[in-house]
Copies of this chain bind each other. A is one copy, B any other.
């Protein structure tokens, strides 16, 4: 981490680590993403990233491409300049939430499956824990709804913003 303040550097590490396990990204990808979120510059070049992260060309290349592929970041070009410039996609927060939503939906399905399996095969156990299982299912459902309304809000905000 060069050319950035110590405060920012620390926050990059912390945020990077968080991306790392929330989105299953390699450490370097998490850090690159964090750098972009915490920066006011609109567009970091390949070389900028190499310098800031002190990583090799090949690693930076791989991880930038990964982030692009996952739509966390995008790149643009300037006329008369062969370089690519990278920045976070406008919808990165929404993408994060959509990812969560997907995983919550999966979990909810699994919990329903488990509940109905136990209802059928372990009726006594199910009776005992019925309410707990259902409370859990209820929790996941509420969480799913919260996600869905939040995503809608974000879409609405972006539409509004685009009209300006």
Binary contact readout A1-30 vs B (1 if CB under 8 angstroms, 0 otherwise): 000000110010011001000100000000
Indicate if the CB atoms of A157 and B131 lie closer than 8 Å: yes
- Rounded to whole Å, the gap between the CB of A15 and the closest CB of chain B is 6
- Rounded to whole Å, the gap between the CB of A162 and the closest CB of chain B is 12
Given A38-B117, A114-B15, check contact A132 B107 (CB 8 Å).
no
Count of chain A residues with a beta carbon within 8 Å of a chain B beta carbon: 43
**A14: B residues at CB distance < 8 A:** 110, 113
In the complex, the count of this chain's copies comes to 2
Indicate if the CB atoms of A150 and B132 lie closer than 8 Å: no
Indicate if the CB atoms of A15 and B93 lie closer than 8 Å: no
What is A's interface to B at a CB cutoff of 8 Å? 7-8, 11, 14-15, 18, 22, 37-40, 93, 96-97, 106-107, 110, 113-114, 117-118, 121-122, 124-125, 128, 131-133, 135-136, 138-139, 142-143, 146-147, 150, 153-154, 157-158, 161
**A121: B residues at CB distance < 8 A:** 8, 38, 40
A-B contact pairs, 26 of them (CB 8 A): A8-B117, A8-B121, A11-B113, A15-B110, A18-B106, A18-B107, A18-B110, A22-B107, A38-B114, A38-B118, A38-B121, A38-B122, A40-B118, A40-B121, A93-B132, A97-B136, A97-B139, A131-B157, A135-B150, A135-B154, A135-B157, A139-B146, A139-B150, A143-B143, A143-B146, A146-B146
Given A97-B139, A124-B40, check contact A114 B11 (CB 8 Å).
yes
Indicate if the CB atoms of B150 and A138 lie closer than 8 Å: yes
